[in-house]
Amino acid sequence: MGTRKALLSRIMETAARKLKCDKGTLYLFDEKSRQLWTAVLQNDAIAEIRVEPPQGLAGYSFWHRQVVNVDDAYTSPYFSSKTDDLTGYKTRAVLCMPVLDNTGHAIGVAQMINKLDGTPFDAADIEAMNAVVREIGKLLDNSETLPALGPGLALACIVALLGWGAHLILPKSLQAAISPVLFIILLGVGVSNFLILPLHYLPGIRFAMRQLLRFAIVLLGSRIALAEVANIGGHALLVVLTLMLLAGTVALSIGKLLRISQKLSLMIAVGTAVCGGTAIAAIAPVIKARDEEFSFAVSVNMVMGMLAVLCFPLIGRAFGWDDRFFGMWAGTAVNDTAQVLATGYAYSPTAGQTATVIKLVRNSLMAFVVVGAGLYYAALEGESTSDAKGASFVKRLKESVPSFVLGFLFLAMLNSLGFFSWLATATRVDVPSALALLTNDVVLVAMAGIGLGTSLAHVREVGARPFLVALSTFLAIAVASVVLIRLIS
């Protein structure tokens, strides 16, 4: 229900914007308890509301399968002020409409509350609400079918293509320094937040943001050779591992101090220490991060990477660092792969090559970090039962190693064994290049999905404090990297 619930929440948010009202609530019917419960509850201080039909405005709408439109809720004999009393919220205008499945059976109620301009809901609002409940009904019936996914996936492809084209317009020097991912995410955010997208686009956007991104992570395994960890040398590997531990310590400690969620802090740490947005995308479903946390972590990670691209070469020149030293610094302290390469090669070809090798080592460690984080969170949130420790560990392990991580490891193993090179020789097809092109294209479409799926309202709710966590972690890694490289040089 997690992914579907997130999509239902986005549909209700979009519907509230379209009807220009304060908030929307979606009730679904629980056959066991015979109650309506709030599958989507926006901006309230309580976790859940349950209603026994035909009680309440939503219960009346569900029970009688009728549209309920009241100008002042407190004048209706069916309205219950219990929730208002608990939250301090003042309900005025209410529009309720039953949600039907494909057989015409009522399965829930969509409710919109309080027009922003203080007026009652009118006929145009009722017509718009009809479209909302139809989309909700279709989503609950067939959200994973190709017709349901097609419009959103097509939009993600268009955004990816336009963002990539905008990147190509840049001068060559800037193309190397700025990843096309930045253009694609920003374009997606603009389209999603400054236009009101039709609701039928949302399932495909969610699919690109989640499943397609996981597929891209699996494909990335074909570009990782686990033997590179051994080839880089023990001292450099020790620096990488130390910085990973430091990133986790700094992000979690400052996050706790600033009272932000551990999940967001951990995603910031992993993005900084491992491989940017890819690592964040890999770890988010493992630790069950919320969409707004995921979007914020990816966005702030891109900002930190851009700071590195712009500032690191200037700092290196000011201190007169040699190419190898600077390459190791860029490889260990910059997060996103494209930004590592841009930073290194902006200094010199030798620095770029050194940075690339170091970065590949960090990428190779991604799966181990994801599994470790998953085990940590499974243990942290695990129930305190009398289950045997062995059974509990097996359960945590299954929860912490999703199928896409296993797919990543499997392709990495095949690449390490030279399978793709052998296949290229046997078929006379450049298999590694084809896989690299496919991976890049899938990543770009998935990043378009992230942009399209990012709600600026939710990002604003996350606030400025996580940005301070990201900045502190980035600066700590940048400084500590210099110190550690000096020690091993």
**What DSSP string runs through 350-416?**
HHHHHHHHHHHHHHHTHHHHHHHHHHHHHHHH-------HHHHHHHHHHHHS-HHHHHHHHHHHHHH
Residues 6+ apart with CB under 8 A from 485: 239, 325, 328, 329, 332
Query: Same structural domain for residues 204 and 318?
Result: yes
Integer Cα distance of 215 and 420 in angstroms: 18
In this prediction, residues 92-121 reach a mean pLDDT of: 87
Looking at the DSSP bridge assignments, the partners of residue 97 are: 110
Looking at 142, 165, 191, which one is the last position of a domain?
A: 142
Contacts 24+ apart (CB under 8 A), 312-320: 312/343, 312/347, 313/343, 313/346, 313/347, 316/347, 316/351, 317/347
Structure-block tokens of residue 216:
């891209």
State the chain's mean pLDDT as an integer. Answer: 79
Predicted local distance difference test score (pLDDT) of residue 220 = 73
Predicted local distance difference test score (pLDDT) of residue 3 = 53
Integer Cα distance of 78 and 142 in angstroms: 33
In this prediction, residues 354-379 reach a mean pLDDT of: 74
pTM: 0.55
Predicted local distance difference test score (pLDDT) of residue 386 = 40
Domain count, the chain: 2
Q: Does residue 148 belong to any structural domain of this protein? A: no
DSSP 3-state of 107: strand
Q: Which amino acid is at 238?
A: L
Predicted local distance difference test score (pLDDT) of residue 132 = 84
Query: Same structural domain for residues 437 and 483?
Result: yes
Query: Same structural domain for residues 64 and 15?
Result: yes
Integer Cα distance of 359 and 346 in angstroms: 16
Query: Same structural domain for residues 76 and 189?
Result: no
| Residues 152 and 208 sit within 8 Å (Cβ to Cβ) | yes
What is the CB-side half-sphere exposure of residue 41 using CA atoms within 13 A? 15
Predicted local distance difference test score (pLDDT) of residue 221 = 75
Query: Same structural domain for residues 55 and 115?
Result: yes
Specify the CATH number for the domain of residue 91.
3.30.450.40
Integer Cα distance of 207 and 143 in angstroms: 10
Query: Same structural domain for residues 187 and 291?
Result: yes
Q: What Å distances lie between residue 451 and 22, 444, 480, CA to CA?
A: 24, 11, 32
Res 384 pLDDT > 50: no
Query: Same structural domain for residues 291 and 339?
Result: yes
Q: Does residue 462 belong to any structural domain of this protein? A: yes
Query: Same structural domain for residues 178 and 252?
Result: yes
Per the omega criterion (within 30 degrees of 0), is the bond before 313 cis? no
Residues 6+ apart with CB under 8 A from 261: 255, 293
In this prediction, residues 116-124 reach a mean pLDDT of: 90
Query: Same structural domain for residues 243 and 272?
Result: yes
In terms of residue numbers, what domain contains 340? 155-488
Res 52 pLDDT > 80: yes
Predicted local distance difference test score (pLDDT) of residue 142 = 59
- Tens digit of each residue's pLDDT (9 = 90 or more) over 193-234: 788 777 677 778 878 877 787 787 788 778 766 665 555 556
In degrees and rounded to multiples of 5, residue 6 shows phi and psi of -65, -40
Res 387 pLDDT > 60: no
Query: Same structural domain for residues 347 and 279?
Result: yes
Query: Same structural domain for residues 138 and 199?
Result: no
Helix/strand/coil (H, E, C) string of 266-326? HHHHHHHHCCHHHHHHHHHHHCCCCHHHHHHHHHHHHHHHHHHHHHHHHHHHHHCCCHHHH
Cα angle 322, 324, 329; round to 5: 95
